[in-house]
Structure 1
Amino acid sequence: MEDASISTLVGILIFLIFCSAFFSSSETGMMSLNRYRLRHLVKNKHRGARKASRLLERPDRLIGVILIGNNFVNILASAIATVIAVRLWGDAGIAIATAGLTLIILIFAEVSPKTVAAMFPERIAFPASYVLLPLLKITYPLVWVVNSITNSLLRLFGVKVGEGNNHLLSTEELRTLVHEAGALLPQTNQSMLLGVLELNDVTVSDIMIPRNEVEGIDLDHDLEQLLYQLSHTSHTRLPVYHGDINKAVGTLHMRNLAQLIQQGQVTKTSILQVVREAYFVPESTPLHTQLLNFQNESRRIGLVVDEYGDILGIVTLEDILEEIVGELSAQNKASNQEIHLQEDGSFFIEGTAYIREINKSLGWDLPTDGPKTLNGLITENLESIPDANVCLELNSYRFETLQISDNLIKTARVTRYHSDPHSDEDES
Structure 2
Amino acid sequence: MSDENSQSGNGSAKTLLEKIVQVFTGEPQNKEELVEVLNDAQDRDLIKPSTKLMLEGVLEVSDMRVRDIMIPRSHMVTIDIEQTVEEFLPIVLESAHSRFPVVNDDIDHIEGVLLAKDLLAHAFKGDTNELTIKELLRPAIIIPESKRVEPLLKEFRQERYHMAVVVDEYGGVSGLVTIEDILELIVGEIEDEHDDLLEREIRQLSGNVYQVKALTELDDFNEYFNSEFDEEAADTIGGIIIHQFGHMPRRGESTKINDFEFKIVNADKRRIQQLQVTVPKGHEITGKLADER
When the two structures are superposed, what TM-score results if normalisation uses the length of structure 2? 0.64
* Structure with greater Cα Rg: 1
Pick aligned residue for 2:106 from 241, 244, 251 = 244
User: 1:217 aligned to 2:107?
Assistant: no
Aligned to 2:128, the other structure's residue is in SS state coil
- For 2:7, the equivalent position in structure 1 comes to 111
Matched, 1:378 2:281: yes
| 1:415 equivalent in structure 2 | none
For 2:78 and 2:281, the matched residues in 1 are separated by 29
Task: Give the number of the structure whose residues are more often strand, by fraction.
Answer: 2
Consecutive unaligned residues in structure 1, runs of 5 or more: 1-103, 126-163, 352-357, 380-400, 405-409, 412-428
Query: 1:298, 1:362 → 2: CA distance?
Result: 32
Deviation at residue 233 of structure 1 after TM alignment: 3.6
Amino acid at match of 2:86: E
Match of 2:166 in 1: 304
TM-superposed CA distance for 1:177, in Å, is 1.6
Structure 1 186/180 Cα, relative in aligned 2: closer, same or farther at 3 Å? same
The answer to whether the Cα contact below 8 Å between 1:341 and 1:348 also exists between their aligned partners in 2 is no
| Stretch of structure 1 that moved more, 255-264 or 185-194 | 255-264
Report which of the two has the higher share of helix: 1
Retained in 1: the 8 A contact 2:84–2:133?
no
Amino acid in structure 2 at the alignment position of 1:258: L
Q: What is residue 33 of structure 2 aligned with on the other side?
A: 173
Task: Check 1:360–1:291 CA distance in 2 against 1; reply closer, same or farther (3 A cut).
Answer: farther
The structure-2 alpha-carbon separation of the partners of 1:196 and 1:310, relative to structure 1 and needing over 3 Å to count, comes to same
Give aligned-pair identity as a percent: 28
Aligned to 1:86: none
Q: 1:321 aligns with which of 183, 200, 211?
A: 183
Aligned equivalents of 1:112, 1:361: Cα separation in 2: 38
Q: Report the Cα distance in structure 2 between the residues aligned to 1:298 and 1:265, rounded to whole angstroms.
A: 29
Paired residues for 1:327-342 under 5 Å: 327-329=189-191, 332=195, 334=197, 335-338=199-202, 339=212, 342=218
Distance 1:342 1:363 in 2: 21
Structural mapping, 1:229-378, within 5 Å = 229-266=91-128, 270-329=132-191, 332=195, 334=197, 335-338=199-202, 339=212, 342=218, 350=225, 363-365=253-255, 366=261, 374=278, 378=281
Could you tell me the TM-score, scaled by structure 1's length? 0.46
Q: Which amino acid aligns with 1:364?
A: S
Distance (whole Å) between structure 2 residues aligned to residue 293 and residue 209 of structure 1:
19
Moved over 6 A (4+): 358-362
**Contact 1:257 1:271 survives alignment (8 Å):** no
Question: Residues 185 and 348 (structure 1 numbering): CA distance in 2 closer, same or farther, change over 3 Å?
Answer: farther
- For residues 303 and 275 of structure 1, the distance between their equivalents in structure 2, rounded to whole angstroms, comes to 15
Please tell me whether the aligned partners of residues 165 and 175 of structure 2 are also in contact (alpha carbons under 8 angstroms): yes
Shift of 1:236: 1.4
Q: Where do 1:58-77 residues align within 5 Å?
A: none
- How far the C-alpha of 1:229 sits from its partner, in A, is 2.5
Per-residue deviation at 1:332? Answer: 4.6
* Residue deviations 1:356-391 (CA, integer Å, cap 9, x gap): xx99999524499xxx9846x615xxxxxxxxxxxx
Alpha-carbon offset, residue 201 of structure 1: 1.8
Aligned-partner Cα distance in 2 for 1:378–1:220:
38
Instruction: Name the CA distance, whole Å, in 1 between partners of 2:130 and 2:107.
Output: 17
Distance 1:287 1:348, change over 3 A: farther
Separation in 1 of the partners of 2:122 and 2:278? Answer: 42
**Does structure 2 conserve the Cα–Cα contact (< 8 Å) formed by 1:250 and 1:278?**
yes
1:205 shift after superposition: 1.2
Per-residue CA distance 1:262-295 (angstroms, 9 max, x = gap):
2223257543222211111111112112112222
Q: CA deviation at 1:245?
A: 1.9
Maintained 8 Å contact 2:28/2:34: no
Deviation at 1:251, TM superposition (A): 1.1
Letter in 2 for 1:176: E
What is the total number of aligned residue pairs between the two structures? 229
Aligned pair in 2 of structure 1 residues 373, 268: CA closer, same or farther (>3 Å)? farther
Closer/same/farther in 2, CA of residues 336 and 105 from structure 1, 3 Å limit: same
